[in-house]
Amino acid sequence: MNCSARQAVFDKVNEMTLLKNQEIVLTIEDFTREGEGLGKYQGFPFFVKDTVIGDKVRVSITKLKKNYGYARLIEILKPSPDRVEPACPVARQCGGCKIQQLSYEKQLEFKWKQVASCMKRIGGFAEIEKLMEPVYGMDHPWHFRNKAQFPIGTDRTGNPVAGFYAGRTHTIIPNTACLIQAEVNQEILETILQYMKENRVAAYDEKRHQGLVRHVLTRVGFVTGQIMVCLVVNGHAGQLVNLNYLIDKLAQISGMTSIVVNTNKDKTNRILGSECKTVWGKDYIEDKIGDIRYQIGPLSFFQVNPMQTRVLYGKALEYAALSGRETVWDLYCGIGTISLFLAQKARQVYGVEVVPEAVEDARRNARLNHIENVTFYVGRAEDVVYRECEAADPDDFHDKKHPEVIVVDPPRKGCDQTLLSTMLAMAPDRIIYVSCDPGTLARDCRILCAENYEIKKVAVVDQFGHSCHVEVVSLLQRMSNTRERTITLDVEMEDYHRIVNGVDHKKRKNTAIDT
C-alpha cells in the first residue's frame, strides 16, 4: 500500500470514530514476531493475542494508536484450520507459550518464515529462501526444557503458589505442572510449597520488598538424570525455618544431586543474586551434549533444550567444515559449550567470554573432558582477539592464533560495531553466526556481507516450542582468497545505527520463557 492509499485508510478510520471497548469482527491475516494475530477492520490494523492466521474473531478494542490498534479476543466465530486446543489449561493466561494454539507444524513454518522475512527486510537478502534448510523441529515438543525459574507468591487465601508470570505483568499464574518443563518439577515445587505452608515461610512480595522465598530455580540433566534445586531468597539460608526437613524431602527425589540457596536482597527484576550456598550435595550437576560432558552451576549459562542444542551445535560444526588444521575463535563462549564441541575437530580453539565465572566453568569443563586444544580468555571479544592475534608469532605454527573460522553466539542484541570490525579485520575464511534473534542476525549479516562475505547456508532450529523464539545458525564465507592481515573496517556509525534502528530492542518483561 502506497503512502496516499494508507493515508486514505487512516482518514476513513477517523471518520468511523472507533472507540475503546468497542466490539468488532476481524479475520486474522498475519502473525507478528511476538505471536500476535494481525487483522484489519476496514483497512485499519489491529493486533490480537491468542489468535491464529485464518481465525474469524469477535474482539474488543483495548488501545488505539494513530496507525494501528490492539484488541482482546472475546469469541472465535470461525476457527482457523491450523488452530488446535492448547494442551495446557492456563496457556492463554501464561506469558510463555504464546502460540500453543497453533499446530506444531504451522509453528515451525511460522518460525522459518520469520527468519526469512527478517533476512529480507532488515538484511536485504532478496533470495534468502534458496539458502535456507528446512526447519529442524522436535519429534516431541513437550517437557523439553532443562532449566526453569518459577516465581513464588501468595494467593488470595494466603497460601504460597508457584507458576509463571502472565504476559507483560508480574502477576503469577499458578502452575506446578508446566508441559514444556521437566516433569520432575511438579514434585519439586509441591514439596517446597508444602514446606512453606507447614513452616509459615513467607513468599516474597516484590511491591513491599518483604518476605523470603522469591524464586525456585531447577536444572535437570536430560542425559545424566541429575537434578539441582536452587531457592532464591530475600535473605540467607539461615532464615529458612526447619531447612533440614525440606532438604530431607527433596533429597528423596530420584536424581537429586544439588540443593543450593541463592541470596538476592536487591529490589530488582533480576532473578538470581551473586551469592550461592550449597546446603546439600554438590555445587553443580553434570549433563552431556553429544560426547561432551558439562558441569552446570546455578549461575551457569547452558542452552535450555539439550536435544535441539545437539542439532544446533551439530550444524555449527558442519558449517565450520573443520579438517583438524584450523584455528577457531569462539566468541561469547559462555561455559565453553560450543568451544568444546568444535575442539573435537579443530587444531586449536580459543574461547572468549566477559564473565570470569563462566570462563572458570569453561576451563573446568575442558579438564573434565580431557580436551587440551582449547584455551579460554576473560575479556571483551573484540579486545582479546585482536590483542592475541597481533602478539602471536606468524612463523610459529604452534603459536598460530589467526583464525580460519570464527564462531559467534551473541546475546539477543547481537554484535556491536567494534566486534564486527574486529571480525572483519581478522578476515577468517568462515564465520559461523549462531543467533537467538533473527532481526539482529539479519542486521549483522548485512554489515558483514557488505565487506567481502556472503551467506552460504542458514539453518533454523526450534529450541523453544510453543513460543515465538527461534535459534538460527548461518554460514558466511569470505569471497576473496587473499587475506589482508591489517585492514581498516569502515562501517560508518550513521549507517550502523540506521540498520540497528530497523530492529526493536525494547526491554521485554519477564515471561515463562527464559532464552
Going by their DSSP bridges, the two strands 147-154 and 213-220 should be labelled as antiparallel
What is the identity of the amino acid at 168?
R
Helix (H, G, I), strand (E, B) or coil at 431: strand
CB 418 within 8 A of CB 75: no
Of the candidates 103, 98, 117, 11, the residue with the CA atom closest to the CA atom of residue 47 = 98
Quickly tell me which residue has 551469592 as its cell.
Answer: 275
CB 55 within 8 A of CB 28: yes
Helices (H), 281-355: 306-320, 337-343
Q: Output the DSSP codes for 133-190.
A: PPPB--SS-SS-BSEEEEEEEE-TTS-EEEEEEBTTS--EEE-S--TTB-THHHHHHH
CB 394 within 8 A of CB 384: no
**477: which 3 cell numbers?**
564465507
Q: Which residues are catalytic?
A: 436
DSSP label at residue 81? T
Rounded CA separation 294/34 (Å): 33
Rounded CA separation 273/481 (Å): 48
Of the candidates 316, 487, 481, 497, the residue with the CA atom closest to the CA atom of residue 408 = 316
Rounded CA separation 148/185 (Å): 8
Of the candidates 263, 436, 274, the residue with the CA atom closest to the CA atom of residue 356 = 274
**430: which 3 cell numbers?**
568462515
Of the candidates 347, 400, 353, 394, the residue with the CA atom closest to the CA atom of residue 373 = 347
Rounded CA separation 183/78 (Å): 35
Rounded CA separation 255/458 (Å): 38
Rounded CA separation 353/227 (Å): 26
What is the identity of the amino acid at 72?
R
CB 506 within 8 A of CB 455: no
Going by their DSSP bridges, the two strands 256-263 and 348-353 should be labelled as unpaired
Q: From the centroid of its chain, how far is CA 113?
A: 18
261 has which bridge partners?
231, 277
149 has which bridge partners?
217
Q: Could you give the C-alpha distances from 151 to 180, 221, 271, 359, 431, in angstroms and in order?
A: 16, 21, 9, 28, 39
